[in-house]
Amino acid sequence: MIYSKQRQLILTRLQALKSHPTADTLYQDMKPENPGLSLATVYRNLNQMAENDMVRKVSVAEGADRFDGNMTPHHHMICEKCGHITDIPVDVLPEIDFSSLNAEGCKLARAEVMFYGLCPMCNVSN
Domain CATH code at residue 28: 1.10.10.10
Helix (H, G, I), strand (E, B) or coil at 67: strand
Confidence of residue 111 (pLDDT cuts 50, 70, 90): confident
How confident is the prediction for the chain on average, in pLDDT? 90
Same structural domain, 20 and 52: yes
3-state helix, strand, coil in the chain (%, to 5): 35, 15, 45
Confidence class for position 126, pLDDT limits 50, 70, 90: low
Per the structure, the complete domain to which residue 96 belongs is given by 74-124
Average pLDDT over residues 111-120: 90
Q: Based on the domain organization, do 9 and 41 belong to the same domain?
A: yes
Residues 52 and 83 in one domain: no
C-alpha to C-alpha distance for 43 and 30, rounded to whole angstroms: 13
High-pLDDT (> 90) share of the chain, %: 68
Instruction: Say whether both 21 and 57 belong to one domain.
Output: yes
Q: Are residues 20 and 62 in the same domain?
A: yes
CB 47 within 8 A of CB 84: no
Same domain, 60 and 105: no
Q: Give yes or no: residues 84 and 37 share one domain.
A: no
Residues 61 and 91 in one domain: no
pLDDT in tens, 26-80: 999 999 999 999 999 999 999 999 999 999 999 988 889 999 999 999 999 999 9
The domain tally of the chain equals: 2
Handedness of CA 28, 30, 33, 37 (dihedral sign): negative
pLDDT at residue 40, rounded to an integer: 97
Share of the chain above pLDDT 70, in %: 97
